[in-house]
Chain A
Amino acid sequence: MNRSRVWVTGVGAVSAAGLDAATTLKGFAQGLRQPSTSLPFASDLHCTTFQAPANLPCPASWAHPSRTLQLAGLAVREALADAGLTGFAPGIRVGVCMGTTVASQLNSLPFYDSYRRTGKPSLQPVYDFLGANLSRAIAERLDLQGPRMTVVNACSSGTDALGVAASWLRAGLCDAAIVGGADELNQVPLAGFWSLGVMSSEPCTPFDDNRCGLNLGEGAGVIVLESYDHANARGVKPTIELAGFGAGCDAHHLTAPHPQGRGLRSAIQAALAQADITAEQVAFVNAHGTATLDNDRVEGAVLESIFGNCFPFLSTKGYTGHTLGAAGGLEAVFTVLGLRERWIPASTGFSTQAHDIPIAPVRETTPVDGNYAMSTSLAFGGNNAAALFRRCA
Chain B
Amino acid sequence: MTSASEDMLPPVSVLGFGAVTALGRDVQSLATLLGRPRASPSDSSRRVSDEWLADARVGRALRRAGRFPRMAVLAAMDAWDAAGAAGQDVATDRVGVVVATGLGPHDRTFKFLDGILDCGDNSASPTDFSHSVHNAAAAYITEILGWRGRSCTVTDFTAAFEQAVLLAQVWLAEGACDRVVVGAVEELGEVLLGVLPRLLGDASNRTDVAAGEGACFLTLGPATLAGFAHLNATAQRDQVDVLVMDEPALPSFEVQAASLPLPARQAVTFSPHFGHMATSSAFQTLGGLLCLHTGHILGQRISHMHDVRLIEPAVAPASLDSVQVYKRSSMSESHSLFLTRPGS
Contacts and interface: CB of A to CB of B under 8 A. Distances in A.
Interface of A: 43-45, 101-102, 104-107, 109, 112-113, 115-116, 119-121, 123, 126, 130, 133, 135-136, 147-154, 160, 163-164, 167-168, 170-173, 187-197, 247-255, 262-263, 266, 379-383
Contacts of B136: 254, 380-381
B110 A112 contact: yes
B148 interface: yes
What is the predominant secondary structure among interface residues of chain B facing chain A? helix
B140 A130 contact: no
Contacts of A130: 157, 250
A261 B255 CA distance: 49
B195 A115 contact: yes
5 contacts: A107-B112, A112-B117, A150-B154, A197-B126, A253-B143
B209 interface: no
B131 A254 contact: yes
A102 B195 contact: no
B124 A192 contact: yes
A209 B199 CA distance: 52
Return the 5 tightest CB-CB contacts between A and B, nearest first: A381-B139, A192-B129, A152-B134, A195-B126, A381-B135
A380 B133 contact: yes
Contacts of B146: 251
Contacts of A43: 121
B156 A381 contact: no
A102 B105 CA distance: 11
Contacts of A379: 135
A249 B157 CA distance: 26
B4 interface: no
Interface string B143-167: 1011111111111110100010011
Contact of A171 (B9, B93, B123, B138): B9
Given A44-B122, A151-B152, A173-B8, A195 B113 contact: no
A173 B155 contact: no
B13 interface: no
A190 B149 CA distance: 30
A107 B191 CA distance: 12
Interface of B: 8-9, 92-93, 97, 103-104, 106, 109-110, 112-117, 120-126, 129-136, 138-140, 142-143, 145-157, 159, 163, 166-167, 170-171, 173-174, 176, 191, 194-195, 198-199, 202, 234, 250
A105 B153 CA distance: 13
A115 B191 contact: yes
A101 B133 contact: yes
A251 B147 contact: yes
A167 B140 CA distance: 26
Given A102-B132, A115-B191, A191-B115, 8 more contacts: A109-B113, A109-B117, A151-B154, A172-B8, A173-B9, A188-B113, A196-B130, A380-B130
A123 B150 contact: no
A380 B130 CA distance: 8
A196 B148 contact: no
Contacts of A170: 174
Contacts of A123: 195, 198-199, 202
Given A116-B117, A150-B156, A173 B166 contact: yes
A123 B195 CA distance: 8
Contacts of A263: 148
Contacts of B159: 148
A115 to B, nearest CB: 6
A167 B171 contact: yes
Contact of A105 (B9, B109, B174): B109
A322 to B, nearest CB: 14
Contacts of B191: 112, 115
A360 B60 CA distance: 40
A138 to B, nearest CB: 13
A105 B134 contact: yes
A293 B174 CA distance: 37
